[in-house]
Structure 1
Amino acid sequence: MKIYNVQIKTMDRGLFIPDGWVEIKNGKISAVEEGTPENLSAEDIDGDGGLLMPGFIDAHTHLGIIENGIDFEGDDCNEDTDPFTPQMRTIDGINPFDRCFEEARKRGITSAVVAPGSANPCGGEIIALKTAGRRADDMLIRPVGIKFALGENPKRTYNDRDETPVTRMATAAVIREGLSKAVRYLDAVNAYENDSENQELPEFDIKCQSLIPLLKGEISAHFHCHRADDMFTAIRIAKEFGLKPVLVHATEGYLIADILGQEKNISAVSGPVICDRCKPEMKGLDIKNTAELVKNGVKTSICTDHPVIPVQYLPASAAMAVKGGLDYEKALEAITIKGAEIAGIDDVTGSVTVGKDADLQLYHGDPLDIAKDPDWVMINGQIV
């Protein structure tokens, strides 16, 4: 299949093709070229001069794990019976038939990062998935992180029960304890694999086992943190254990953007942008936040935190960030390639690049205009 007569905003190193075409084979992008292709067929799509670009990526949501319009029965986001639950797998809580997946697709969101909630200091495994499908296993791109939470949410959850943690100190201590146990567990596993004759395999521990990909650097540590001091705690813990940190929400990031910009290996997911200051740790919410982070060199994406903000308002969130001072092209990057890079899925999606999945959308108009929808949206080479 070829899509021709299109302007192509590739989101790949700023490459823009004013008149070009894209070829798709087996759900993958096989060519991105200028001009008009030869040998057109009936299955090929005339873009009528529209703007072709990659599908949007929401870098932090609870899509499908907190279902639309359903209270406890459809909320599988927080296993708050234990403050440290890295063994929770988000894929086991996803309902692909939640109507919000359809609403995401209609607004051009082809991939989403879905996380467990922030009631626990450690909530579980985070995954990235496509927004089309009937079985979560088929929608899955890959696990991308482990969810940690700092600040108000764990304090409030466990204070109501008179259990640890009820302070920021205790929240950090719970995280350190769990990670320290996992480090010792991994050391014992490695010792056994290097010398099985003289070493014993440690007794299986599902919590420690679930943290091994994180300790090996295969996935990232996503820290829920709104306040500036909580962001520094996240960085402190990440350095202690050699983790790749992602600061999720980063609401007060603009207060420390210059410091964050000096840190290596730090990225941020800014949002929700369109939101009220609904709790004390969000009192510093300001639409300039994303712009300040980006200006100071922090790799930053934008999220809705769905269902806090419905997922279909991701482009509107990017537009609000533009109003707050973010460069327009940087806003588009924040919901395409930067979201993919931060999630660790940029090898398969996030730009119109040969070899990546054909996750595409076509516009006649501004993609960030709240009044505009894409003409069509494609996931894995299929119009959805």
Structure 2
Amino acid sequence: MLFKNATIYTMEEEPFIGDFRVDKGVFTEIGKNLEPKDEDIQDLSGFNVYPGMVEAHCHLGMEETAIGFEGNDLNEITDPITPNMRGIDGCNPMDETVQTALEAGVTTVAAGPGSANVIGGTFFAYKTKGNCIDEMSIQNPIAMKAAFGENPKNCYKGKKIDTRMQISALLRETLEKTKEYMKKKESDKDVDYDQKLEAMIPVIKREIPLKCHAHRADDMLTAIRIAKEYDIEITLDHATDSQAILDQIKESGFPCICGPSLCHK
């Protein structure tokens, strides 16, 4: 189909009145005064056209809207260290919130475990159109979830975590154990398999970042400190208090992801 006379926002230049061509659901051409071919033509005068929005941090499809415990697969609150959890295994694309996101223009999301655990498991990216999460997935994994501050403290208070110091200690312990595990695997073919440490290897290899839940400035600085100690990649997610430490964040070179700001979760 050829759509003509729309106000087009490319997000890379000023909006303009123009045309675009779609073939099998894919934009194939955007410009001004495109010549019709053997195709249907629709006049979009007075309408605005935007690219699909991308939500870089959410839990869409993992905590369902219509039911309670049965549909809540957001946090595995049985152990503060669960890197072997995979977000894709807990995501229900047929929950109504996924369709709501699509209808609102959110076409791609990064989704995964919540922030109950110090290490929660892997995030993945998927398109919001479809009914089979394996077919909708576009990259898995994309990051390993980690959390600092109030959420792990609250979820494990009086059990395994009472302070921010323990959160950092558990994360460092896991990173160190992963490095040792990798060395053993290189030299010993009979090393016992460890599912949790296996899941952390891509983090140590810098193949995926730690996706760090951090609201307070001191939590963001702790995430940066640990990332530098272990030479790993991180993103600072939420970054609510970032205004207080803009210079330090800029110097670190690590990106911030604000939100989640769209949809049910």
TM-score (norm 1): 0.64
Paired residue for 2:256? 268
Paired residue for 2:237? 248
Paired residue for 1:293? none
Distance (whole Å) between structure 2 residues aligned to residue 215 and residue 27 of structure 1: 39
1:163 aligns with 2:151: no
1:82 aligns with 2:82: no
The letter for the 2-side match of 1:222 is K
Segments of structure 1 that go 5 or more residues without pairing to the other structure are 193-198, 272-302, 312-384
Distance (whole Å) between structure 2 residues aligned to residue 74 and residue 95 of structure 1: 9
1:304 aligns with 2:261: yes
Paired residue for 2:103? 106
Pick closer, same or farther for the CA change 1:97–1:227 going to 2, 3 Å. same
Segments of structure 2 that go 5 or more residues without pairing to the other structure are none
1:258 aligns with 2:258: no
Conserved? CA contact 1:188–1:201, under 8 Å = no
Conserved? CA contact 1:151–1:230, under 8 Å = yes
The letter for the 1-side match of 2:17 is D
Pick closer, same or farther for the CA change 1:25–1:204 going to 2, 3 Å. farther
Conserved? CA contact 1:130–1:139, under 8 Å = yes
Conserved? CA contact 2:81–2:119, under 8 Å = yes
The Cα of 1:137 is off from its aligned counterpart by: 0.7
Distance (whole Å) between structure 2 residues aligned to residue 220 and residue 305 of structure 1: 23
Pick closer, same or farther for the CA change 1:25–1:209 going to 2, 3 Å. farther
The letter for the 1-side match of 2:131 is R
Deviations 1:346-375 (A, max 9, x none): xxxxxxxxxxxxxxxxxxxxxxxxxxxxxx
Distance (whole Å) between structure 2 residues aligned to residue 260 and residue 91 of structure 1: 30
The letter for the 1-side match of 2:95 is D
Paired residue for 1:229? 218
The 3-state SS of whatever aligns with 1:166 is: coil
Q: Report the identity percentage.
A: 38
The Cα of 1:27 is off from its aligned counterpart by: 4.5
- Aligned to 2:21, which of 23, 32, 40? 23
Pick closer, same or farther for the CA change 1:39–1:305 going to 2, 3 Å. closer
Paired residue for 2:7? 7
The 3-state SS of whatever aligns with 2:16 is: strand
The Cα of 1:98 is off from its aligned counterpart by: 0.9
Distance (whole Å) between structure 1 residues aligned to residue 134 and residue 49 of structure 2: 28
The Cα of 1:305 is off from its aligned counterpart by: 7.1
Conserved? CA contact 2:20–2:34, under 8 Å = no
The 3-state SS of whatever aligns with 1:204 is: coil
Distance (whole Å) between structure 2 residues aligned to residue 240 and residue 215 of structure 1: 11
Paired residue for 2:47? 50
Distance (whole Å) between structure 2 residues aligned to residue 183 and residue 56 of structure 1: 38
Deviations 1:225-273 (A, max 9, x none): 1110000011111112222211111111111123212221x111223xx
Pick closer, same or farther for the CA change 1:241–1:83 going to 2, 3 Å. same
Higher relative contact order (CA 8 A, sep 6+): 1
The Cα of 1:223 is off from its aligned counterpart by: 0.7
Conserved? CA contact 1:62–1:305, under 8 Å = no
The Cα of 1:25 is off from its aligned counterpart by: 4.1
Give the alignment's Cα RMSD to 1 decimal: 2.0
The letter for the 2-side match of 1:91 is I
